[in-house]
Amino acid sequence: MSKNIKVNAAILIIGNEILSGRTQDTNTSTLANWLNSIGVKVAEVRVVPDEEKIIVDTVNLLRKNYDYVLTTGGIGPTHDDITAKSVAMAFGKKYEIHKEAFKILESYYKPGEFNEGRQKMVWMPEDAELILNPTSGAPGFSVDNVFCLPGVPSILKSMLGGLKNKIVGGEPILSLTISLKTVESEIANSLTKVQDQNKDVEIGSYPFFHAGKLGVSIVIRSENQSKIDECNSQILKFVNEKKIEVVDR
Amino acid sequence: MSKNIKVNAAILIIGNEILSGRTQDTNTSTLANWLNSIGVKVAEVRVVPDEEKIIVDTVNLLRKNYDYVLTTGGIGPTHDDITAKSVAMAFGKKYEIHKEAFKILESYYKPGEFNEGRQKMVWMPEDAELILNPTSGAPGFSVDNVFCLPGVPSILKSMLGGLKNKIVGGEPILSLTISLKTVESEIANSLTKVQDQNKDVEIGSYPFFHAGKLGVSIVIRSENQSKIDECNSQILKFVNEKKIEVVDR
């Protein structure tokens, strides 16, 4: 794949516990940061409940619209873990015991401990490719462009290394942050002009209130460093003219 | 509205900073917890970029599919704040100066400080209803069943009180959590049986690793306390039989 192609992805968070507010999702930012670092832009995130039809329909929509789909959650041993079955249905594939996953878990657990509950975790879509799990044994899997990871953040993080050669990004997305001791309304018009003159660069403005400091972070994002540099100098020009202080953030 | 109707909502998080992983969204769990507390179930969450067409299309889809839509982000003074304009387009309404919002901000700021940048924050869809902002002046707004809130978590939290009579929930969604010193695979089959016997109750199973403790939290959710109690006693029955310890979490 050519390195200058823009590559995108969707993240699909599966789990009632996120929708109820009981659990604070952190996997989105983990995955988004990692995807960005390998040149994949996250175009959309959805959070859906543990309901088969919704998961099937959403997987089928997202996998057609984006280069990659990463799902989190629903691959454990309990009744509410229905991601593997739903992904099999989405692809019209059999849902069956994955022989390699079976061997991995059979040797991971002590003799007699690989019980029926645990064996549910080796049921996957036919011909799924495994994503190895260095933390707790049970692998994730991928089918075509859909990559299924667990919901527990520490386990998910430990599995990203196993995706490195499977998800191929484009040009890395570079970013530069300029933090200012000001409020957004003071810079809004000047920043709009910079954005208008650099339409293919993503410029975001984010107020912050942090450790007693109040200010605005301007984030410039592009695959092209020279475009970032150009925006940076245009921004610093009006910042100097307005005698606004640049601060660390 | 009858109190036994099930009421649902979608949350729409608007902002490139969430998709890039730069900012960890916390508004979803804030809103979901609050909505649950007033009997509104969150059916879906989407995170979309600061792009007009995507916001317009997503607002129009969600407002037709759900009783309420709550958006966060994109209502500040800078060029990337396009929520108000996009919601106006979604409803086919004019995007114009909201007279009441203008008066609020004119008196909020010192004379001379209500500049052009700040005045952008009073542009709203025609006939929008204001959601007052006790923290930083600039109000949110609603049009029909779509409620637009800011992205800054502390400001968003301070504005929830202003939604109380505008968002009307159904029966409150009750929940009970049972935390166990065990692993999911030990209880998976027994828990499946409880779920199968109580199909209209939502039973979730969530492993935890917290402060050196490893265990599983079972969460039972329903509008009906007696159904929760019934599931609780069925679960405690197998927990006792298996000699699993119940722990605090």
Per-residue pLDDT averaged across A47-66, rounded?
98
Contact A19 B44 (CB under 8 A): yes
Which of A30, A12, A1, A45 lies closest to A167, judged by CA? A1
Which of A26, A14, A143 lies closest to B18, judged by CA? A26
- DSSP for residue B44: E
- Does residue A3 have a pLDDT over 70? no
**Chain B residue with the nearest C-alpha to that of A50:** B204
If you average pLDDT over every residue of chain B, what do you get? 94
Contact B184 A76 (CB under 8 A): yes
Q: Which CATH number is B174-247's, of 3.30.70.2860, 3.30.70.330, 3.20.20.70, 3.30.43.10?
A: 3.30.70.2860
pLDDT at position A213 is 80
pLDDT at position A1 is 37
Cβ atoms within 10 Å of A216's Cβ, excluding its own = 25
Per-residue pLDDT averaged across B189-209, rounded?
94
Per residue in B116-175, pLDDT (tens digit) is: 889 999 999 999 999 999 988 899 999 999 999 999 999 999 999 999 889 999 988 899
Per residue in A155-188, pLDDT (tens digit) is: 999 999 999 889 999 988 899 999 999 999 999 9
Contact A118 B25 (CB under 8 A): no
- Does residue B3 have a pLDDT over 60? no
Residue A169 tokens read as 């990004």
pLDDT at position A164 is 87
DSSP A78-138: STT--HHHHHHHHHT--EEE-HHHHHHHHHHSPTT---HHHHGGGEEETTPEEEEETTTEE
Per-residue pLDDT averaged across A126-147, rounded?
95
pLDDT at position A117 is 85
8 Å CB contact between A191 and A176: no
Residue type, B1: M
Mutate to test the interface with B, among A29, A41, A68, A114 (most CBs of B within 10 A): A29
CA distance A166 to A70: 12
pLDDT at position B214 is 86
Residue with tokens 């994949």: A40
Contacting residues of B for A24, CB less than 8 Å apart:
26, 29
CA distance A74 to A54: 13
**Chain A residue with the nearest C-alpha to that of B48:** A44
Contacting residues of A for B160, CB less than 8 Å apart:
none
Helix residue ranges, H only, chain A? 16-19, 27-37, 52-65, 83-91, 99-108, 116-119, 153-159, 184-197, 225-241
pLDDT at position B2 is 39
Per residue in A111-129, pLDDT (tens digit) is: 888 988 899 999 999 999 9
- Does residue A2 have a pLDDT over 50? no
Contact B184 A77 (CB under 8 A): yes
Which of B186, B81, B199, B198 lies closest to B141, judged by CA? B81
- Does residue B1 have a pLDDT over 80? no
pLDDT at position B98 is 98
Q: Which CATH number is B7-163's, of 2.60.120.200, 3.40.630.10, 3.40.50.150, 3.40.980.10?
A: 3.40.980.10
At residue B54 the predicted structure's pLDDT band, cuts being 50, 70 and 90, is: very high
Between the CA of residue A131 and those of A11, A23, A128, A139, B116, what are the distances in Å? Answer: 17, 25, 9, 5, 53
A26, A118, A205 member nearest B80 (Cβ): A205
Contact B78 A205 (CB under 8 A): yes
pLDDT at position B117 is 85
Minimum distance, in Å, between the CA of residue A64 and any CA atom of chain B:
17
Contact B78 A202 (CB under 8 A): no
CA distance B41 to B171: 10
Domain borders along chain B are: 7-163, 174-247
> What does pTM read for this prediction?
0.93
Contact A47 B50 (CB under 8 A): no
pLDDT at position A136 is 82
B16, B41, B206 member nearest A202 (Cβ): B16
